[in-house]
């Protein structure tokens, strides 16, 4: 079975980091509340922060990422899940085994590997820390990933990500890498940028003038640019890579601060809190558990959000 390119064509992907966030987005997409959402992005940045409270610096292992990706895939209500595999956790031999594990133990739709030297450093960290693999070395990794999925589950998408712009190597270098990685077997490409937006758009325009291979962007540092603006310039996928995780931070911080005030209760947060019923709906209470739940009239009698 060939790679399904539907989720790689003019779509939004939302960055999730656990089963509950995957279920939230998956339920909304299935109910057509979020009609343009075509996939879930499991970033090492978010998983590092939420699972280990550590930097995004190849500290989370491949086994940990595959395990969380598997849980997310099971909770995602059919939305394709793409797993951020950093720089491949080592050389081409290591990446081959990671791909085989993904293929044999999950329904994850795609993996993304970036062309940084292992251990990698997140794109938003110091520019002096951004070191890229030689083109030939990273192309070998993509070939290994391609061979592994063809031997186990050919419908797994292999996405190659270049950090040439992040490393300050410029547009021509980014395009050179993209051509080489496509030739090595990548089904789609991702390009990240931390400098001038025009560099990112120039890469996209020039790429689209010569190739139909899908192009993915995660414009975290360009929040004023809409998905349609990116699609117009030549990108096929726009990722809200970490906004969901960042959105919950202020509410959690406020709740913890207000909890220290022993004269107040959590109802002061009002509608910012989910009700228990909201959580129960997402996790499937009612599928054989409805008769064991607190009666609806009890929940309804609460004057504020259930806590």
Question: Residues 253-288: pLDDT tens digits?
Answer: 888 888 787 777 666 666 778 888 989 988 988 765
pLDDT at position 305, please? 44
Could you list the beta-strand ranges (E) of 37-195: 37-42, 81-84, 110-114, 157-162, 188-191
pLDDT at position 302, please? 46
Q: Is 236 a catalytic residue?
A: no
Burial of 263 (0-12, 13-18, 19+ CB in 10 A): exposed
pLDDT at position 301, please? 42
**Which parts of the chain register pLDDT below 70?**
1, 33-35, 126-129, 265-270, 287-307
Whether 69 contacts 39, CB under 8 Å: no
pLDDT at position 162, please? 97
pLDDT in tens, 4-17: 777 788 789 999 99
Instruction: Give 8-247's CATH code, choosing from 3.40.960.10, 3.30.365.10, 3.40.50.300, 3.20.20.60.
Output: 3.20.20.60
Burial of 147 (0-12, 13-18, 19+ CB in 10 A): middle
Residue at token pair 């993304």? 112
Cβ partners under 8 Å of residue 185, min gap 6: 142, 143, 145, 146, 147, 158
Which residue in the list 18, 56, 86, 92 is annotated as catalytic?
56
Q: How many CB atoms lie within 10 A of CB 73?
A: 23
pLDDT at position 1, please? 62
pLDDT at position 303, please? 41
Q: Which among 159, 153, 156 is positioned nearest to 104, based on CA atoms?
A: 153
Residue at token pair 């360009």? 222
Global pTM reads 0.89
pLDDT at position 300, please? 46
Q: Where are the domains of the chain?
A: 8-247, 266-307
């Amino acid at each position: 079975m060939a790679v399904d390119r539907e989720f790689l064509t003019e779509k939004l992907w939302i960055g999730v980091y656990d089963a509950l966030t995957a279920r939230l987005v998956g339920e909304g997409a299935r109910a057509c509340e979020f009609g343009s959402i075509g996939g879930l992005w499991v970033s090492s940045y978010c998983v590092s922060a939420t699972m280990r409270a550590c930097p995004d610096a190849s500290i989370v292992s491949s086994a940990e990422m595959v395990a969380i990706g598997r849980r997310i895939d099971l909770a995602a209500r059919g939305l394709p899940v793409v797993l951020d595999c950093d720089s491949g956790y080592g050389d081409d031999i290591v990446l081959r085994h990671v791909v085989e594990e993904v293929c044999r133990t999950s329904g994850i739709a795609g993996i993304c590997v970036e062309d940084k030297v292992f251990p990698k450093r997140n794109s938003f960290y110091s520019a002096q820390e951004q070191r890229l693999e030689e083109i030939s070395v990273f192309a070998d990794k993509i070939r290994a990933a391609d061979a592994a999925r063809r031997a186990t589950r050919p419908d797994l998408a292999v996405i190659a990500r270049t950090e040439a712009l992040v490393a300050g190597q410029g547009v021509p270098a980014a395009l050179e890498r993209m051509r080489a990685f496509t030739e090595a077997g990548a089904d789609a490409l991702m390009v990240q940028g931390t400098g001038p937006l025009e560099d990112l758009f120039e890469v996209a325009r020039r790429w689209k003038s010569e190739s139909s291979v899908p192009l993915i962007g995660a414009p975290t540092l360009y929040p004023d640019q809409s998905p349609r603006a990116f699609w117009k310039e030549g990108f096929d996928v726009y990722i809200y890579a970490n906004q969901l995780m960042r959105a919950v931070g202020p509410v959690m911080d406020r709740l913890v601060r207000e909890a220290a005030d022993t004269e107040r209760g959590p109802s002061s947060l009002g509608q910012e809190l989910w009700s228990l019923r909201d959580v129960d709906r997402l996790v499937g209470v009612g599928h054989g558990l409805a008769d064991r739940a607190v009666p609806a009239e009890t929940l309804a009698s609460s004057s504020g959000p259930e806590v």
